[in-house]
Amino acid sequence: MSPHILVLGGTTEARHLAADLAARPGVRVTTSLAGRVSKPGAVEGDVRIGGFGGAAGLADWLRAHHVDALVDATHPFAESITANAAEAATATGLPLLVLRRPGWQQGPEDRWHQVTSSAAAADLLPRLGHRVFLTTGRLGLAAFAHLADLHFVVRSVDPPEPPMPPDTEVLLSRGPFTVPDEKALLHAHRIDVLVTKDSGGQATAAKLTAARELALPVVVVRRPPLPRGVDAVRDVAGVLERLGLGGG
């Protein structure tokens, strides 16, 4: 029987994993996307889009589609779906692997201020600067909406939705970004502070190098913890190995 693997996606790593799994004879892979992005990148294998209806709905889907293993390769800040995956795996008795790219590490020349929430980042901002490059995602602007005295430059793939700060300029683009481009952007918009989640990965790390080289402060929102008892694997190769599919 071909194993059927459900990958909870929405990240570059999930796309790479789906491509690796789809290339293996006898393996069936389905990637699940939340449906937040209007034009998601191409994904190998089967794709389904939209919520499951909580942990119970996900467990039903796993049973109905005869899934043999569940891989949560969602973004490190997608806390609800990760909690649902853990609960659904327990309910169905299926193996769960969590694929999480490592977080970014602060270097000696970085001027990072690490906080545990967007609300804490918003509290700190007025003391650090007035022209903010905000890269926490288009759905996370509400925490900053009351900061009427600051100018925000927000970058996202799709247009952000209110509530958001009144003085907001939107740049629509999708990574990866280069260090020279990020420096040019920071210069052009006279940015004096950057806000980011600790997403990790290469595609959006250039802004941190650019901020370091320009000696700008960066507010870094740290990741939420994983559900209790859940271990993360750091890369696609680790997932393949744990699934018994490593080595090509």
Binding site for ligand NAP (CB under 6 A): 8-11, 32-34, 36, 51-54, 57-58, 74-75, 77-81, 84, 137, 197
Q: Closest-CB residue for ligand NAP?
A: 51
Of 44 and 167, nearer to ligand NAP (C-beta) is 44
Token digits of residue 81: 């779906």
Least separation in angstroms between residue 152's CB and ligand NAP is 17
Of 170 and 214, nearer to ligand NAP (C-beta) is 170
Q: Taking the C-alpha atoms of 135, 141, 143 and 147 in order, what is their torsion angle to the nearest 10 degrees?
A: 90
Least separation in angstroms between residue 214's CB and ligand NAP is 25
Q: Hey, is 96 helix, strand or coil?
A: strand
Q: Are 217 and 128 in contact (CB under 8 A)?
A: yes
Q: What is the residue whose two structure tokens read 């926490």? A: 136
Least separation in angstroms between residue 25's CB and ligand NAP is 26
* E strand spans, 35-158: 46-49, 69-72, 96-99, 111-115, 131-134, 151-156
C-alpha to C-alpha distance for 148 and 158, rounded to whole angstroms: 23
For the beta sheet containing 46-49, the strands, ordered from the edge strand earlier in sequence to the opposite edge, are: 46-49, 28-33, 4-8, 69-72, 96-99, 232-233
Of 40 and 214, nearer to ligand NAP (C-beta) is 40
Of 130 and 175, nearer to ligand NAP (C-beta) is 175
Least separation in angstroms between residue 61's CB and ligand NAP is 9
Least separation in angstroms between residue 57's CB and ligand NAP is 6
Of 120 and 214, nearer to ligand NAP (C-beta) is 120
Cα-Cα-Cα-Cα dihedral sign, residues 32, 51, 225, 75: positive
